[in-house]
Amino acid sequence: ETCTVDRYGGEPFDLSEVRVGFSQSEAESNPFRITETESIRTEAEERGVDLITANAQSDFSQQISDVQDLMSQGAEVLIIAPLNSDGWKPVLDEAAERRIPIITVDRAINGTACEDFVTFIGSDFVEQGRRAADQMIAALDGEGEVAILLGAAGNNVTTERTEGFKERIEAEAPGIELVFEQSGDFTREGGQSVTEQLIQSQPDIDGIYAQNDEMGIGAVTALGGAGRGAGDVRIVTVDGTRTAVEYIVDGWISGVVESNPRFGPLAFEAAEAFGAGEEVGTQLIITDREYDSSNAEEEVGDAY
User: By the criterion CB under 6 A, which residues form the site for ligand AHR?
Assistant: 26, 30, 32, 106-107, 157, 186, 212, 214, 238-239, 259
The smaller minimum CB distance to ligand AHR, of residues 106 and 134, is found at 106
Shortest Å distance, C-beta 19 to ligand AHR: 26
Q: Smallest distance from the beta carbon of 32 to ligand AHR, in angstroms?
A: 4
Q: Which of 286, 296, 280 is nearest to 125 (CA)?
A: 286
Give the nearest distance from C-beta 186 to ligand AHR in angstroms: 4
For residue 267, the minimal CB distance to ligand AHR (Å) is: 15
User: 165 vs 59, 169, 194, 203, 234, CA distance in Å?
Assistant: 28, 6, 19, 23, 15
User: Least distance in Å: CB of 59 to ligand AHR?
Assistant: 14
**In the complex, what is the shortest distance from the CB of residue 25 to ligand AHR, in angstroms, rounded to a whole number?**
8
For residue 214, the minimal CB distance to ligand AHR (Å) is 6
Nearer to ligand AHR, 71 or 267 (CB): 267
Q: What angle do CA 142, 252, 32 make, to 5 degrees?
A: 100
Give the sign of the dihedral formed by CA 118, CA 123, CA 127, CA 130: negative
Nearer to ligand AHR, 27 or 178 (CB): 27
Q: Which is nearer to ligand AHR, 76 or 195 (CB)?
A: 195
**30 or 135: CB nearest ligand AHR:** 30
Which lies closer to ligand AHR via its Cβ, residue 128 or residue 254?
128
Q: How far apart are CA 288 and CA 304, in angstroms?
A: 13
Smallest gap from residue 206 Cβ to ligand AHR (A): 23
Nearer to ligand AHR, 243 or 295 (CB): 243
Task: Report the residue number, 188 or 234, with the smaller CB distance to ligand AHR.
Answer: 188
